[in-house]
Amino acid sequence: MFRVMIVDDEPLVRLALGTIIPWRDLECEVVAEAADGREAWERIATDQDIDLMIIDMSMPVMDANALLSKMKEANLTNAPLSIVLSAHSDFDFVRKAFLLGALDYIMKANLDPEHIIPVIHKAVRKLKENAASSWRTDPYNDSDRKQREIWLRGLFREKDYFYSLNLTQDDSFQRWVSQYANSQHVIVSILPDERLDNIEHLSNIIRQGLESLKIPFQLIQIKEDEHALLLCFESRDSYLNVRARVIELLDSLCNTVKNFLNVTLSVGVADSCTDWKIWHSRYIQARHLACLRFSEGPGRVYYPESVSVDVGPPIAPWDYRDMMQLIEKGDTQWQQKLLAGLKQLNELSKMTLESSLPVYEELIWNIGAWLHAQAMNWNQVLETRRRPYEIVEQFMFREDLHAWIEQLVVLLADVLHSEK
């Protein structure tokens, strides 16, 4: 979807343009409005995330030509295409607008789909042509794109996936992957910090945000709640240059997603490589780094040198047997034992849920065994039929998991003593 901003000082005109045009059918989406050129400029200069602007010629504060002139002087990296709205008396202004780079104009007397849609079609064709001449362009058709997604998903998730490809009979994979032969590859794992109802919306925002930065990329949805990103850089680029561009890209991407969806991202960035056959190991590294949000917090970008990755499970520092005995006796000191144990677990840094699972699964297993010994079962403690192990595996952050464990133990004590 191409991103559209409507700039007009008349609210009714903005409303009409936003509603009477079938924007989605035209591969567009109205994402912003502005009441004058200055307001529009502030948005463009800050985010540079607009592909097409519909601008009224005559506005207070800053008119269309003043805005177009400002954009031309700024030499923006991702300047939007512009269509001006003109009254009959504005032809001199329209000529100047064309000199300043406007693509076309629409007469304000003809604000109806019959006259507007052909102009929007023209703008969309131009946007696609611009994309086709850019090095960030995807030169393949939709079926090729879907095939690449299958290849990438396999190469990232399965260690020996490329051995399963019949490369002797079908060289399409080799032709596709050969374009990366002389590049540096950086693999990124992207995890939204909230459950999203529409993951496709997130995919579109990520893709659009990346396209504006002119870095070749491939985006793949690994799972419902995870995207992976393959970034390509020139082989001659230095490490510092690549890192600076990755930082710039991801900062912009996280800000864009936050602005549009009000959702933060946890991002892991793997070490760069030049051989596609080790994309799997780099993806595993990137995902592990992103999953450090479990202990280190959400909304961060994790780089290999910023943390020491502990790949082994931690040794449980908490002996919860005393707590269980106190609960059985009805001694309220179990509460202090619980809080002290959770505090010790909180002090474990740089941990993912995966590496911490043995600690929590042992706790859950022992509670289950203890319930069985008391002639009880989980259904008497939990209000859901989901297995407690499944519940534990769904937590993104340690703080939330500990709150659930605390609630679980409180319910356990209440049920035990109500039974007695």
The pLDDT tens digits for 54-75 are 999 889 889 999 999 988 888 7
| Residue 148: pLDDT band with limits 50, 70, 90 | confident
Taking residue 212's Cβ as centre, other Cβ atoms within 10 Å add up to 21
103-146 per-position pLDDT tens digit: 888 888 878 888 899 999 999 888 877 765 443 334 444 556 67
Quote the pTM value: 0.61
Residue 368 makes CB contacts below 8 A (sequence gap 6+) with: 378, 388
- pLDDT of 189 strictly over 60: yes
233-281 per-position pLDDT tens digit: 887 788 888 899 899 889 989 998 888 888 999 999 999 998 888 999 9
pLDDT of amino acid 88 = 63
Q: Which residue has the higher pLDDT, 52 or 209?
A: 52
pLDDT of amino acid 359 = 83
The DSSP letter of residue 393 is T
Question: Span 2-132: which CATH code?
Answer: 3.40.50.2300
Quick one: average pLDDT of 5-30?
A: 90
CATH architecture for segment(s) 145-306:
2-Layer Sandwich (3.30)
% of the chain surpassing 90 pLDDT: 25
- Domain boundaries for CATH 3.40.50.2300 within the chain: 2-132
- Domain boundaries for CATH 3.30.70.270 within the chain: 145-306
Going by C-alpha positions, the residue among 389, 393, 387, 402 that lies closest to residue 355 is: 393
- pLDDT of 420 strictly over 60: no
Q: Which residue has the higher pLDDT, 292 or 314?
A: 292
Amino acid, res. 69? S
> How confident is the prediction for the chain on average, in pLDDT?
83
Going by C-alpha positions, the residue among 263, 267, 316 that lies closest to residue 292 is: 267
Q: Which residue has the higher pLDDT, 170 or 114?
A: 114
